[in-house]
Homo-oligomer: A and B are copies of this chain.
Amino acid sequence: MAASAVAREIVLVDCPDDVGLIHRITGVLGAHRLNIESNHEFVDTDARHFFFRAEVTPAVGAAVLPASGALAEELTRVLPSAARVRVTRAERRPIVVCATREPHCLGELLLLDTVGDLPGRIVAVISNHDTLRGLVERFGLPFHHLPHHDAVGSDLPRETHEMELARVIDSYAPEYVVLARYMRVLSEDFVGRYPDRIVNIHHSFLPAFAGASPYRQAFARGVKVIGATAHVVTAELDDGPIIAQDVIHVDHTFTPERMAQAGRDVEKLVLAKAVRLVLEERVFLHGRRTVVFE
Contact = CB atoms under 8 A, between A and B. Distances in A.
Contact of A205 (B107, B206, B269, B290): B206
A207 B40 CA distance: 28
Interface string A1-40: 1110000000000000101111100110110011111111
Interface string A103-132: 110011001001101000000000000000
A121 to B, nearest CB: 16
Contact of A1 (B22, B102, B261, B291): B261
A42 B1 contact: no
Nearest to A59: B19
A119 B21 CA distance: 29
Nearest to A61: B19
Contact of A224 (B2, B242, B258): B242
A4 B290 CA distance: 23
What is the interface of chain A mostly: helix, strand, loop, or mixed?
A: mixed
A62 to B, nearest CB: 9
A65 interface: no
A52 to B, nearest CB: 10
A41 B253 CA distance: 10
A193 interface: no
A17 B59 CA distance: 11
Counting chain B CB atoms within 10 Å of each CB, which of A111, A220, A288 scores highest?
A111
A221 B241 CA distance: 7
A252 B208 contact: no
Given A42-B252, A222-B289, 7 more contacts: A20-B30, A23-B26, A39-B41, A206-B208, A207-B229, A207-B239, A221-B288
Q: Which 10 A-B pairs have the closest CB atoms?
A: A222-B289, A138-B138, A23-B26, A20-B30, A204-B206, A224-B245, A208-B208, A107-B111, A252-B291, A103-B115
